[in-house]
Amino acid sequence: ASGACAAGWNHIGVRCYKYFGSEQQFTDAKKSCISEGAMLAKVHTQEVNDAVSEFVRDIGGTSEFWIGLTRTNDQNEWRWMDGASLIDDDGKWASNEPGSTENCAKIKVEADQNQKYFWFGYTCGHAYSYVCEKGN
């Protein structure tokens, strides 16, 4: 059907998302998404952020997963995988996040979560599960 996502991909808004439970360092997660014709998820609105987080929670219960948000070492600016600057991060970072040496972002979900799905900065070399995103 037109507008449908490929098998294994979940339709949220106008995009398709897939959760990968195998834990990878940020760079490897990024490459894995590219190999799927996708990119690490851009959860730039509260609606998408929450919908993706809930979809991951439904599959994996408690987990932490990389999103497609990173900052380069030579500048303090956070950017999405498509190169877009992080514009509205109002209320999305957990308190005291991100740390000054943390250049990649993850979301933490808990099986019994009843609060907001916050972002946490983390060291990019750590391995987490991840979510990729692509068009139909």
Q: CA 20 to CA 64: how far, in whole Å?
A: 11
The structure's pTM equals 0.92
Q: Domains (ranges, CATH) in the chain?
A: 13-134 (3.10.100.10)
Q: Cα(54)–Cα(73) distance, rounded to whole angstroms? A: 31
The pLDDT, as a whole number, for residue 73 is 64
For residues 96 and 68, what is the distance between their CA atoms, to the nearest angstrom? 20
Virtual CA dihedral for 58, 49, 11, 7, nearest 10 degrees?
Answer: -60
Contact 68, 93 (CB under 8 A): no
Distance of CA 30 to the CA centre of its chain: 10
Q: pLDDT tens digit string along 53-80?
A: 999 988 878 789 999 999 976 678 899 9
Residue 104 in contact with residue 69, Cβ under 8 Å?
yes
Q: What is the pLDDT of residues 22-53, one digit of tens each?
A: 999 999 999 999 999 999 999 999 899 999 99
Average pLDDT, the chain: 90
